[in-house]
Amino acid sequence: MLNGIFQPGLVLTGNVTVAVILLVAAFRVLEGGLAVGVLLAVVLSTKRFFSPLETIAMFYNSFQSAQAALEKVSGLLEEVPRVQPPRDPIALPAARGDIAFESVAFSYGSGPEVLPEFTLRIPAGQTVALVGATGAGKSTIAKLLARFYDPSSGAVTLDGVDLRRLSTRDLRRAVVMVTQEAFLFSGSVADNIAIGRPGASRAEIEAAARAVGAHGFISDLPEGYDTDVTKRGGRVSAGQRQLISFARAVLASPAVLILDEATSSLDIPSERLVQAGLAKLLGGGDAPAVRAASAHDGEGSPTAADSPDGARTAVIIAHRLSTVEIADRVLVVDGGRIVEDGTPAELLAEGGRFAALHGAWRDSLK
Ligand SMILES: Nc1ncnc2c1ncn2[C@@H]1O[C@H](COP(=O)(O)OP(=O)(O)OP(=O)(O)O)[C@@H](O)[C@H]1O
Ligand SMILES: [Mg+2]
């Protein structure tokens, strides 16, 4: 408002004043009461009077917007995170991936209860699919597991350790979540994948990209893996962004992988490709290529991939039921409650909600 009124107002006043002076003085010049030189002097000095005033107005405007920006920045700096890292964390360098929600209830802030109290155990290595209607609470369960929020009551544990007792470093290494909104940072494609495990070699990065079927399109970019994703020509589509963030998660090789609608922007062939990679990754440890690359340079953090059975715990949320095919277990969520729990085959045989959802999905494919 101030910006819009103050400076233009001042400019208007200045110009109107000049016009009035010009008019009045011009008549006096015509009458012969004033020399032309004097008229010129008066007009020029009026202009000179207003121009510093305009500069001051401009400065005042910048000052105001700087002040507003400062308020926003300091507001952000003063924000106290609700999810605090513990003072004396319990070390968990190599998580197996046993997950338990012990009598967990949750509501966002002081809002209504989104998840009424429930208990859920997911043994290490299991692939669990969460299905249910929009707003049922699937993402909320995933966010609790990644500790984006703490439960209102009860505890979420990883290998028997409360997530609130884990250092941020251990937690983020053990639990990785890929969401629908894949975010790319400025830098090359390789840099973006390497965020999953800083210090990863080029061979490992490429292996991760291959595992999710991203290698093809990355090679087609102008400079391949070194293409800057913020530059012209390096821009990638939403689906490709998702593949890159997938590769990032694969490279991180976490004990627990959460995919929240992570394949939603992919077309059917790409989704199939990702699923094939995923099945390999989740089923028997790392995809052979990734494992070979890791073994090759002989370092990398100890994760589930190095555990004897090598399987990874996965929680997959997807509206497209094709993704559910690779799951060992399906949980149907409705209104924050888990209403069905079993293998896909069992639930289909039971003829409950999952069977109905599956039937509807089948019909939609015809
Ligand atoms: N940040 C938030 N603050 C307050 N309420 C929220 C927040 N996020 C989600 N909710 C509420 O929690 C409920 C469950 O949301 P959630 O995102 O878990 O659903 P969902 O099962 O993942 O749905 P979808 O399939 O659409 O992704 C909804 O009623 C929603 O309105
Ligand atoms: Mg969701």
Mean pLDDT split into 10-residue runs, the chain, 366 residues: 82 91 91 88 90 87 91 93 86 86 92 91 91 90 93 92 90 88 86 88 90 85 85 74 86 89 75 73 49 39 43 84 82 90 87 85 80
Residue with tokens 């121009």: 51
Q: Which amino acid is at 171?
A: L
Q: Measuring CA to CA, which residue among 165, 123, 139 is closest to residue 304?
A: 123
108 CB under 6 A from ligand 1?
A: yes
Tally the residues of the chain.
366
Residue with tokens 């039971």: 350
**Which pLDDT score, from 0 to 100, does residue 266 have?**
75
Ligand 1 atom nearest residue 138's Cα: 21
Task: Give ion ligand 2 contacts, CB < 5 A.
Answer: 139
Neighbours of 61 (CB within 10 A): 15
Q: Which protein residue's CA is at the shortest distance from atom 29 of ligand 1?
A: 135
**Which pLDDT score, from 0 to 100, does residue 269 have?**
76
Distance 134 CA to ligand 2 centre (A): 7
Neighbours of 148 (CB within 10 A): 13
For residue range 117-145, what is the model confidence (pLDDT) as tens digits? 999 999 998 999 999 888 899 999 999 99
Q: Measuring CA to CA, which residue among 153, 147, 145 is closest to residue 103?
A: 153
End-to-end CA distance of the chain: 57
DSSP per position, 6-40? HHHHHHHHHHHHHHHHHHHHHHHHHHTSS-HHHHH
Q: Measuring CA to CA, which residue among 210, 84, 90 is closest to residue 157?
A: 90
Are 312 and 300 contacting, i.e. CB atoms less than 8 angstroms apart? no
Distance 108 CA to ligand 1 centre (A): 9
Residue with tokens 């990734």: 290
- Give Cα 345 distance to the centre of its chain: 34
Q: Which residues pair with 101 in a beta bridge?
A: 120, 156
Distance 71 CA to ligand 2 centre (A): 33
Enter the tokens of residue 34. 């004033």
Ligand 1 atom nearest residue 136's Cα: 21
pTM: 0.74
Q: Which amino acid is at 62?
A: S
Backbone φ, ψ for residue 20 (5° rounding): -65, -45
Question: How far, in Å, are 11, 23, 41, 110, 146 from residue 14 at the CA level?
Answer: 5, 14, 16, 55, 61
Ligand 1 atom nearest residue 141's Cα: 18
Q: Which amino acid is at 100?
A: A
Distance 141 CA to ligand 1 centre (A): 10
Which of 115, 130, 139 has most ligand 1 atoms within 8 Å of its beta carbon, as the pocket-test mutant? 139
**Which pLDDT score, from 0 to 100, does residue 75 have?**
94
CA angle 137, 305, 206 (to 5 degrees): 95
Residue 287 class from Cβ within 10 Å (0-12 exposed, 13-18 middle, 19+ buried)?
buried
d(CA 169, CA 219): 32
Enter the tokens of residue 36. 């032309």
**Which pLDDT score, from 0 to 100, does residue 233 have?**
62
d(CA 285, CA 282): 6
Sheet containing strand 175-178, strands side by side:
175-178, 256-260, 313-317, 127-132, 329-334, 337-342
Q: Which residues pair with 315 in a beta bridge?
A: 128, 258
For residue range 302-325, what is the model confidence (pLDDT) as tens digits? 443 443 445 789 999 987 777 787
Q: Which protein residue's CA is at the shortest distance from atom 9 of ligand 1?
A: 140
Residue with tokens 């729990």: 341
